Amino acid sequence: MARYEVNAAAVDKTRSLIAAHQYVLDSDWGEVQPGAEDANTFLERHSWDDYAAWHLGLTERANDETKARYAFVVGDFRRVHRTALIACVYRAAEWRHKKVELAAHQLLQDLDEAAGLTG
């Protein structure tokens, strides 16, 4: 099973997007989650660092500048999706990637607070 470390740059980017209210509260993540073609289009116009910043997990021992290096996407390359963070928490918990799970959980709490969903 692959092992992941938390991508601090993605945590920072996600926090900045949340602070700027660049998020979607209600979406069907299965429908809007970026696919391979979306990733390719993004990479045609952006750097690998920009691509990496959308992924909470970095696959250990995978080569940089390959899609295999990046996991747990948090948005659609424009905005953070609440349902993406929920999916990250769930997937990371399911496969026992505790550090990624906790990072995604904290970002979900940050988003909910910013959106006024905590009361």
Residue 112 dihedral angles phi and psi, to the nearest 5°: -60, -40
pLDDT cut 70: percent of the chain above it? 100
Domain ranges of the chain: 4-114
How does pLDDT run across 1-37, given as a tens digit for each residue? 899 999 999 999 999 999 999 999 999 999 999 999 9
Strand ranges (E), the chain? 4-6, 23-24, 55-59, 70-73, 80-81
| Alpha carbons 80 and 96: distance in angstroms, whole number | 23
pLDDT in tens, 54-65: 999 999 999 999
Residues 73, 92: contact at Cβ < 8 Å? no
pTM above 0.85, yes or no: yes
Whole-number Å distance between alpha carbons of 29 and 118: 22
